[in-house]
Amino acid sequence: MLKADASLKDVLETVIGTLPICKVRKVAYATFTIIEIDQYTGDFEVINFDNPPIFYFRGGRPFEIDKRTEQILDRKITISKGTLQRDDFLGAISDGVLYAGLGVVLNFGWGWQNIAKYIENIFSRQPLTARKIVNSVIAETHTLYKANVGDDATFVGLYVREKNSLIIFTGPPLDTTTDYSCVEKVLDFKGRKVVCGGTTSNIVARYLGETLELDISTVRRDIPPMGSLSRIDLLTEGILTISKSLEYLNESKGNVQALPDDVNGAVLLTKELLRADSIFFLVGQKINEFYQNPRLPQNISIRKNLIRELAEVLSKLKKEIKIEYC
């Protein structure tokens, strides 16, 4: 209704008017919190009905924001407003989180202040994501319930951070005279830099005037070793590693915590992909006959198809994708 530009009063009257009332406690069975954010200005509004107060952190500490109360259908609605800044956290919980441990650990459950202190402690540890904050609080909630959750325990949070950008250079350019211009595009990129492919890595090494160093400890049965060069955050083999990374993406369904606990090129490449918000693929079109499928036309390489498939999976994970061929 809000998305269709219905008035706030009409929205609340519709929702409140349809909530069932407990005959004994005389309170609504259902509660709701609406969070509306302007993605361009960062201005937000939180409409809260019978849920605990929201959590708002700035600089890693609880921060007071403007709020007011209104009466709609004889129900008290709390409306909070503010403007999000980088490193701000905004979170909303249901009663089930607030009262975790009731009669077991604390007299009145976990409590809002204790949850706030718990979140503040999370802020002292980096790196920080909304997933880390929410999952940590929910895990502690389960612990306090002794794994027997007695009420709906929901926590929704968002954390404002700088966009994570990633460039992946893979495959030698079709025209060798453009090798170094492609390398310069990678080195000038504002974000994380990944190079995939032996020939591609050697092009970068020649430009930098360095010797490519391989880490044999990262060799696996189906994954070649990683390498290292200055100014490059991750350097791996190409087709085999990218293929395995695609496999990891599909198996993990985009959850970085579901990846294998191993240090190899495919795992680290997958982590780079999942942590990035926008990914720029710079794909060389020179065909490596070793990897070419004889059933495909010569102008369609295994590498190009693999990157396209990878891009489709990442797009479904809400990543911004750009592919440029060279």
76 pLDDT band (50/70/90 cuts)?
confident
Domain count, the chain: 2
Q: How confident is the model at residue 300 (pLDDT cuts 50, 70, 90)?
A: very low
* 179 and 319 in a common domain: yes
∠ CA(164), CA(165), CA(167), 5° rounding? 150
Last residue of a domain, one of 159, 177, 207: 159
pLDDT interval class at 298 (50, 70, 90): very low
Domain end residue (candidates: 101, 135, 159): 159
8 Å CB contact between 276 and 192: yes
User: Which of 129, 159, 189 is where one domain is finished?
Assistant: 159
pLDDT at 299: 43
Note the pLDDT tens digit of each residue in 201-210: 999 999 999 9
Q: Is 27 exposed, middle or buried (0-12, 13-18, 19+ CB in 10 A)?
A: exposed
CATH number for position 304? 3.40.50
- Residue 60 in any domain: the answer is yes
Mean pLDDT, the chain, as a whole number? 89
In a domain? residue 54: yes
What the block records as the tokens of 62 is 């609880």
Mean pLDDT of the 270-289 span: 91
**What CATH code is carried by the domain that includes residue 126?**
3.60.40.10
| pLDDT over 50 (residue 105) | no
Strand partners, 35: 46
Asked whether residue 1 is domain-assigned, the answer is no
pTM: 0.75
**Looking at the domain assignment, is residue 302 inside a domain?**
yes
Boundaries of domain holding 75: 8-159
Using DSSP, state whether 308 is helix, strand or coil: helix
- What are the φ and ψ backbone dihedral angles of 303, each rounded to 5 degrees? -60, -45
